[in-house]
A = this chain, B = another copy of it.
């Protein structure tokens, strides 16, 4: 087992000072070419790698990004994550991931875990519980300390920071309109039973489209489900009770689950019931029939988030002031086989 080699080792071995070694390895002209060559050769030979932690301590930056997301089962979050990771890596940053599990407490704990200098900034999407509770003190505290924060998807205007969202209201509107244009009149909306700002936005769009088409807006047409969809009875009851011919879901998991249930009840998709779900993930692609869906461009979202964060981190070094930005990524509807 090889011991780790440090500047000190090299210095001792080559009988020069640590500062000389450091400068030589940075190819500083302050050191004679001879000495530089010698030191560089030695370092190469012994495969010297500067200790990142020491550099982090010195520079007071880690080149680590903290990502906190509610879950990793929804394709949307994994694709955003992928976008972040890809971009960050090209910039020499690493990504530390924590999963809040939709829980307020875990979100707080995870932020704490990362707060002590382990990361240069956060990229987050709020936990459901946090949005429900409306308690953002942990975020405020972070922003107060001057730690950069980028919020995506599940954002809040209680916090001043960079944000990336999609045009949820409009997407909800467009999707609903598409269902209406396909001839649907009784359109159900499936959303999370716990409050999420994105769901609320999408619901707005849904309402607007219905009203515009002169269709009745009825709260009984809304099915609210728990994150994991464990509540089988609720949906069973809902679909028996309501005679729907269209369905809009705020995510693809709900959409597919509902589609299966409808199929079990003998409904044909899309002839009897047309369906659109948010998130164009593998589930939507692989579904039978393939699901028409609102593509959220998760990877692009992640990339933009990472870009915003890194720009802000690096702007801090130069002490330049940057205004907070909000980018809205336009969602599209990708038509497949569950709409008419």
A residues neighboring B (CB under 8 Å): 1-2, 4, 47, 49-54, 56-57, 62, 64, 72-73, 78, 81-82, 85-86, 89, 92, 94-99, 109-110, 113-118, 141, 144-146, 253, 256-257, 260, 263, 282-283, 286-288
Contacts and interface: CB of A to CB of B under 8 A. Distances in A.
A67 to B, nearest CB: 9
A72 B62 contact: no
Nearest to A115: B49
A141 B47 CA distance: 10
A73 B285 CA distance: 13
Copies in the complex: 2
A43 to B, nearest CB: 13
Contacts of A53: 53, 56-57, 62, 117-118
Closest 10 CB pairs of A and B: A288-B288, A52-B116, A1-B146, A51-B117, A52-B117, A53-B117, A256-B286, A49-B116, A53-B57, A53-B56
A78 B82 contact: no
A320 to B, nearest CB: 15
A78 B72 contact: yes
Given A94-B98, A97-B95, A145-B2, A51 B116 contact: yes
Contacts of A287: 286, 288
Given A1-B146, A94-B96, 16 more contacts: A2-B144, A2-B146, A51-B117, A72-B78, A82-B99, A85-B98, A89-B98, A92-B113, A94-B98, A94-B118, A95-B98, A253-B282, A253-B286, A260-B286, A287-B288, A288-B288
22 contacts: A2-B144, A2-B146, A51-B117, A53-B56, A54-B57, A54-B117, A64-B96, A85-B98, A89-B98, A89-B109, A94-B118, A95-B97, A96-B96, A96-B97, A97-B97, A253-B286, A257-B286, A263-B288, A282-B283, A283-B283, A286-B286, A287-B288
Contacts of A113: 89, 92, 94
B73 A282 contact: yes
A50 B112 CA distance: 12
Most chain B C-beta atoms within 10 Å of own C-beta, residue among A2, A81, A94, A98: A94
A117 to B, nearest CB: 4
Nearest to A257: B286
A72 B298 CA distance: 13
Contacts of A95: 96-98
Contacts of A49: 115-116
A123 to B, nearest CB: 13
Contacts of A256: 286
A4 B78 contact: no
A282 to B, nearest CB: 6
A338 to B, nearest CB: 12
Contacts of A115: 49
